Amino acid sequence: MFARLSQLTRHLSRPSLAFTPVVTNPAPSLSPLHHRTPSTMTSSAIANASKTIHTAACLIIGDEVLGGKTIDTNSAYFAKYCFQLGIQLKRIEVIADDESEIVEAVRRMSNSYDFVVTSGGIGPTHDDITYESIAKAFGLKLKLHQPAFQRMKQLARPHPMQPHFDWEKPSPGLAAKLRMVELPHDPTVPEEQQAIFVANDMWVPIAVVNGNIHILPGVPRLFERLLEYLKPNLLPRLTNPEGKGIFRFLFSTPLPESAIAPYLTELARRANPHGVKVGSYPRWEKKRNTVTLVGGNKHFMETLVPEVEHNVHGRKVSREDELDPPSDHEK
């Protein structure tokens, strides 16, 4: 498994080159898929391409994650990414390298959320079936993406065990590499909206299907870099184009959750119309618990600070453990 990840990393990136983001047209967004006819598919993809991004979902694809061989860190990174941009992450799922599961999940997510990211299953091996499964989900065929193939030939580092590999000579090795640049293709959508290159030193594009499904590799380093440099494409489509994100206020309290529950219930009722969520989190075996305010209305949240501090007998903090008493070994 780890050898496979190393091989995929070697294929998709060439760290020695200069790294600058490539800004392209905004990647697409969402629309219903009740009848998957060509005309509906086209209108859906076009609508999704410019829709404001309010919600997001993340689909982790891989038997190795479900089998405990690999720890998924991409969903956690994506959660922080959405929080920073002010996008509401509504769902994270982990599924197997199974065509029917991928088809069902991407159709449902594309229909329900504005910005969907998949992670994994786009390598050169037989069980990397994400591209073909997502293509099938939307009635599309796979097509060799020539710009990606040319970039691959230019940037991909040869494997030490394939010193005489020939890009022009048909071989099992070449066929395996071509699997990574055969992308779902919609003939009614402009090419630049179906594959976005965001970094000059990476040949792998972010393939976009039905306007809002963004297909990324599962290797964390590649997943994170591609998302980071996709930001310029997303910012114009956010509710806050400046990408200021969502704010989280932390309050440290010495009171048990049961003691503050009635107040927080009433506070949540008042805060909800302002798009602010109230949370309460126990910190086991600690002498203090945490209350949170999360939302995009920073001004409203700031007006609540004195009230919350008073009612929970606590204080707004920058870290959960900021007011913790010293541990025994620190005394």
CA distances from 290 to 271, 274, 276, 280, 314 (A): 18, 21, 16, 6, 9
Gap between the Cα atoms of 80 and 65, Å rounded: 20
Tens of pLDDT, residue by residue over 107-122, are 999 999 999 999 999 9
Listed residue (156, 118, 112) closest to 134, CA to CA: 118
Q: Nearest-5° angle of CA 229, CA 81, CA 309? A: 145
Which structure tokens are listed for 212?
Answer: 């809002």
94 φ, ψ (degrees, to nearest 5): -120, 125
Q: What is the pTM of this model?
A: 0.77
| Whether 291 contacts 308, CB under 8 Å | yes
- Beta-strand ranges (E) seen in 62-140 are 88-95, 115-119
Tens of pLDDT, residue by residue over 211-260, are 999 999 999 999 999 999 999 999 999 987 766 778 999 999 999 999 99
| Unique residue bearing structure tokens 């029917």 | 100
Mean pLDDT of 138-159: 91
The burial of 269, by beta-carbon neighbours within 10 Å (0-12 exposed, 13-18 middle, 19 or more buried), is given as exposed
Tens of pLDDT, residue by residue over 184-214, are 999 999 888 999 999 999 999 999 999 999 9
pLDDT at res. 109: 98
Between helix 2-12 and helix 220-228 the angle, nearest 10°, is 30
Q: Quick one: pLDDT band at residue 60, thresholds 50, 70, 90?
A: very high
| Whether 198 contacts 229, CB under 8 Å | yes
Mean pLDDT of 14-20: 37
Q: Quick one: pLDDT band at residue 328, thresholds 50, 70, 90?
A: low
Which range, of 95-104, 119-128, 242-251, averages the lowest pLDDT? 242-251
The burial of 306, by beta-carbon neighbours within 10 Å (0-12 exposed, 13-18 middle, 19 or more buried), is given as exposed
Tens of pLDDT, residue by residue over 70-83, are 999 999 999 999 99
pLDDT at res. 251: 98
Amino acid code (one letter) for 238: L
Gap between the Cα atoms of 217 and 223, Å rounded: 6
Q: Quick one: pLDDT band at residue 303, thresholds 50, 70, 90?
A: very high
Mean pLDDT of 120-144: 95
Domains of the chain as residue ranges with CATH: 43-156+171-237 (3.40.980.10), 247-317 (3.30.70)
pLDDT at res. 49: 75
**CB-side exposure of 114: number of CA atoms within 13 Å?**
15
Q: Is the pLDDT of residue 28 over 60?
A: no
Gap between the Cα atoms of 73 and 221, Å rounded: 10
Pairing of strands 141-144, 115-119: unpaired
| Whether 218 contacts 71, CB under 8 Å | no
Gap between the Cα atoms of 56 and 10, Å rounded: 29
Which structure tokens are listed for 111?
Answer: 């229909």
Mean of the per-residue pLDDT values of the chain: 86
Q: Is the pLDDT of residue 170 over 60?
A: yes
Specify the length of the chain in residues: 331
3 state SS of 213: strand
Q: Who has greater pLDDT, 312 or 49?
A: 312
Gap between the Cα atoms of 70 and 163, Å rounded: 30
